[in-house]
Each structure stands twice: as structure tokens, then as C-alpha cells.
Amino acid sequence: MKIIVGLGNPEDKYAKTFHNMGWTAVGDVAQKLGVKFKKRECESLCAEANIGGEKVIIARPLTYMNCSGRAVKQLLAKHKAGIGDLIVIYDDFDLPKGHVRIRPSGSAGTHNGMRSVIAETGSSDFVRIRIGIRDPEVNIPIINYVLSNVRPEDYELFIDACGRAADAALALAEGQKTELVMTKFNG
């Protein structure tokens, strides 16, 4: 079993913001698996798939970014999944825009959604797929930046990054070793 969670905010006004890169990427995961977000459970919109005989839950928490951990904790409990079954995809201001970085564990950095996930689950030992959003040309407070819309000239760059993040999540869900997936997709 794998639970792939894309962090973001549930309202339409956030759909094209930097803070919704995780939501966009798990949308790509669902599309590639031919499933739709039909279920509402554990304060999340969920889709369910099967990869190589293993159940995969794809989730978009409806709790807003800063409370994402609440939904993740509920998903793990409901599906009797361990922390090692969790893959979280999210935007990262600490990485240059368009970069994708996979890590087997780590801190939350500057990300409040990840702080919530780590606090609620009591662990940082789960795979995370980070999509870089930092643009050195933009000089506004982080909170304003992450809630702003992606600039039209950068749209394709971020669509591509979300697609690569989705492919990395699928590779992990298929059972590929984290180190191999890191080598293939980091950068």
C-alpha cells in the first residue's frame, strides 16, 4: 500500500498558485493511473488505484495547507498504513523554480504544511517530493509569493515539474528504490 498526498489549498482561487503544486502533481498521478477523485474521506478528496496488485490512495487534503497533517494522520489510520507507505508532494520555496527533489526523510524547512504533517504523524521518516518554486526575480514576502498565481511565462515550466513529480511518485509506488528514483528525477 502507498498513500500519495499532494499538499495544497482546496478553494478554486488557489488552483494556480505556487502553494498548490502538490495538488496539481497528484492530479497528474491520478490522470496517469486513469482514476478520478471521487471519494471524500479523512478530510481529503481521494482516488484509489492498483499498481502491481498493491493498493494506492491518492489524496488532496481539504484542511488547508497549514493543517495538512490532520488529514494525513487520518488517512494513515484509516488505511492501516505505516509512515513508510507515505509519499508527500509539495511546493518548496527553498528550491529554484521548476526543480524536483526527492528525499527519503528530512525536516519541514520553511514549509508550514510539512510542519503540520511531521507534527501530526510524529515522524519525518517518509518520502517527500519537493517542487521548487523560488524565483530570484521576485522579491515579496514568502506568504504573498506562495499564494500568488504562477506567472504565465512560467506556466509550462511548472506543468512539466508537476509531471516529473507525478512520475517519481508512480515509480516509488511501483516499488522502485528511493535512491534510484532520486538519481533519475532529482534536478
pLDDT in tens, 1-38: 999 999 999 999 999 999 999 999 999 999 999 999 99
Give me the catalytic one of 19, 79, 99, 111: 19
116: cell is 503540520
**For the chain, how many structural domains are there in total?**
1
Q: Is 19 a catalytic residue?
A: yes
Report DSSP state, residue 105.
S
At 110 the pLDDT is: 85
Task: Give 109-165 pLDDT, tens digit per residue.
Answer: 889 999 999 999 999 999 999 999 999 888 899 889 999 999 999 999 999 999 999
* Cβ atoms < 10 Å from Cβ of 41: 14
**Half-sphere exposure in the Cβ direction for 92 (13 Å, CA):** 25
* Nearest-angstrom CA–CA distance, 116 and 118: 5
pLDDT at 176 > cutoff 90: yes
Cα(22)–Cα(103) distance, rounded to whole angstroms?
15
Domain at 41, CATH number: 3.40.50.1470
Three cell numbers at 87?
A: 509519499
Residue 79: which domain range? 2-185
